[in-house]
Chain A
Amino acid sequence: MPDQTIDAYLDALKAALKGCDKALIQDALWDAEDHLRSELARRRYTEPGLDEAKALGGILAAYGEPAEIAAAYKERDAIVSAALAPLQPAKAPAPDGETEPAPAPHPSFFGVLKAPRAYSSLLYLLLSLATGIFFFTWSVTGLSLSMGLLVLIIGIPVLIAFLGSIRLLALAEGRLVEAMLGARMPRRQPPAEQDGGWKARLKSLFTDGRTWTSLGYLMLMLPLGIFYFTLMVTLLSLSLGLLATPVVHFVFHEVTYDGWAWGAAHQNSVAVAAGIVGLFAVPLTLHAALLLGRVQAGLARHLLVRI
């Protein structure tokens, strides 16, 4: 069975990539599977009566030994990270003049103000309410629609289309997570089962654990989005409000102290104190965004990436 041999090759490749970044492994497996299946399909089409086992041997040999291909992926990833690394400190030099260590360095307390990742994480967290509402609505509508219609025949295609859409949404969310939170996520869809026809494809849609963990993730995004959004809006408005207090007080003379006698008596010191607290609260907010973003990226990698 040629199918088994492709699978055996993929298993060997997976074994050779053991210990690498999960998303890198997934990319490598997708590339290999896509190429091998496309090539086998083309040969079958151009050469009727093909000896498949023999052809596959040649195709695998042309693709390269699993160990060699695994080494190429590892090397390429290292080259890209190395090539991109010098660009990062050039844009945002580490505050204490040191070069930042490679694995997700956490910026210093005020250094976070210059870290683009902190702002993009903040934006992601604010956006997560909107995406969460959309994902949740889509999931619940699709699920209940297909479940409800399942008693009629029409429910089956609806369910299939719905599960297919879950995979697409998971991929889109993955791209968003990679762009804004900086966690490496899969860059393309897993190739569909090409051998075995539509039955095998359908079966894989249901038996693939990633379909269901993705669905769970998308539904989880609503409560998480509400939490992230509320927390970030609160922190952001509080810290910016505190920071703006001295400006409003000294420049515009607009601060009012209704019902706070001590504050009204010491307006200048209250405004200065609020400004100082705000000076610390703004970086704290950004740190919180970075940390929450990291947690969210971990969750996404756990539920959206399948090996």
Chain B
Amino acid sequence: MDPGLLDDLERKFQKELNAGTVALLLLAVLAEASEPRYAYDIAKELEERAPITKLGTLYPTLRSLESLGLLDSRVEPSVSGPPRKYYRLTKDGRAALAAWARQWKQTSQVVNAVLKGMDHA
């Protein structure tokens, strides 16, 4: 197979995989935080702890989670630079996180079990 196509396929696979997991990670990071956090700060933390995606894709995901009502936000002035938007989890967001995390654990367990079989073979 053409290596270029293989790369494209890998990128596409990664992108599709990320579509859901990035949202899950964002919710999880916000659930850990005791107070609202602003977008850049969240992006930096995910870059360090879970570098699976381009940082630029985190922002539209945050916005969409907000429009879906899973996050809410308030804008506060900052000492340096433009006002910052602080996000925190809503009640719906917490419920979604619990359900998605359960889903994720189940999926990853099943997938890992199958992949393990592949390693032994």
Question: Which A residues are within 8 Å of any B CB, using their own CB?
Answer: 27-28, 31-32, 34-35, 37-39, 41, 62-65, 68-69, 72-73, 75-77, 79-80, 83-84, 187-192, 194
Q: Is the CB of A64 within 8 A of B81?
A: no
Closest to B54 in A: A64
**Cross-chain contact of A34 among B63, B64, B67, B82 (Cβ < 8 A):** B82
Mark each residue of chain B from 47 to 76: 1 if its CB lies under 8 Å from any CB of chain A, else 0: 100000011110111011001100000010
Q: Is the CB of B63 within 8 A of A35?
A: no
Known contacts A73-B60, A83-B68, A188-B75: A63-B54 contact under CB 8 Å: yes
* Interface bracket on B: 20 to 34
**Cross-chain contact of A192 among B47, B56, B61, B82 (Cβ < 8 A):** B82
Q: Which residues of A contact B82 (CB under 8 A)?
A: 34, 189-192, 194
Interface assignment of B40: CB less than 8 Å from any CB of chain A: yes
Q: Which residues of A contact B47 (CB under 8 A)?
A: 62
Shortest CB distance A285–B (Å): 30
Interface assignment of B39: CB less than 8 Å from any CB of chain A: yes
Q: Which residues of B contact A80 (CB under 8 A)?
A: 64, 67-68
Q: Is the CB of A188 within 8 A of B56?
A: no
Cα of A65 to Cα of B57 in the assembled complex, Å? 10
Q: Is the CB of A69 within 8 A of B56?
A: yes
Q: Is the CB of B55 within 8 A of A188?
A: no
Cα of A80 to Cα of B68 in the assembled complex, Å? 7
Interface of B is mostly: helix
Closest to B62 in A: A31
Q: Is the CB of A76 within 8 A of B60?
A: yes
Shortest CB distance B49–A (Å): 14
Known contacts A35-B56, A62-B54: A41-B81 contact under CB 8 Å: yes
Closest to A39 in B: B40
Cα of A64 to Cα of B80 in the assembled complex, Å? 25
Task: Name 10 extra pairs, CB < 8 A, besides A28-B60, A72-B60.
Answer: A28-B59, A64-B54, A64-B57, A68-B56, A69-B57, A77-B64, A83-B68, A84-B68, A191-B82, A194-B82
**Cross-chain contact of B43 among A35, A77, A191 (Cβ < 8 A):** A35
Closest to B57 in A: A72
Interface assignment of B85: CB less than 8 Å from any CB of chain A: yes
In the A-B complex, list the 5 residue pairs whose CB atoms are closest, starting with the nearest.
A64-B54, A31-B59, A69-B56, A64-B56, A76-B60
Closest to A42 in B: B44
Cα of A44 to Cα of B59 in the assembled complex, Å? 23
Mark each residue of chain B from 30 to 50: 1 if its CB lies under 8 Å from any CB of chain A, else 0: 000000000110010001000
Known contacts A76-B64, A83-B68, A187-B63: A62-B55 contact under CB 8 Å: yes
Q: Which residues of A contact B57 (CB under 8 A)?
A: 64, 68-69, 72
13 A-B contact pairs sorted by A residue (CB < 8 Å): A28-B60, A31-B56, A31-B60, A32-B56, A35-B39, A35-B43, A65-B54, A68-B57, A72-B56, A72-B61, A76-B63, A187-B85, A188-B83
Closest to B11 in A: A68
Shortest CB distance A194–B (Å): 5
Cα of A91 to Cα of B40 in the assembled complex, Å? 36
Shortest CB distance A116–B (Å): 16
Q: Which residues of B contact A41 (CB under 8 A)?
A: 80-81
**Cross-chain contact of A27 among B55, B61, B63, B68 (Cβ < 8 A):** B63
Q: Which residues of A contact B56 (CB under 8 A)?
A: 31-32, 35, 63-64, 68-69, 72
Closest to B84 in A: A34
Cα of A188 to Cα of B64 in the assembled complex, Å? 15
Known contacts A34-B82, A189-B83: A63-B61 contact under CB 8 Å: no
Shortest CB distance B2–A (Å): 21
Cα of A213 to Cα of B104 in the assembled complex, Å? 49
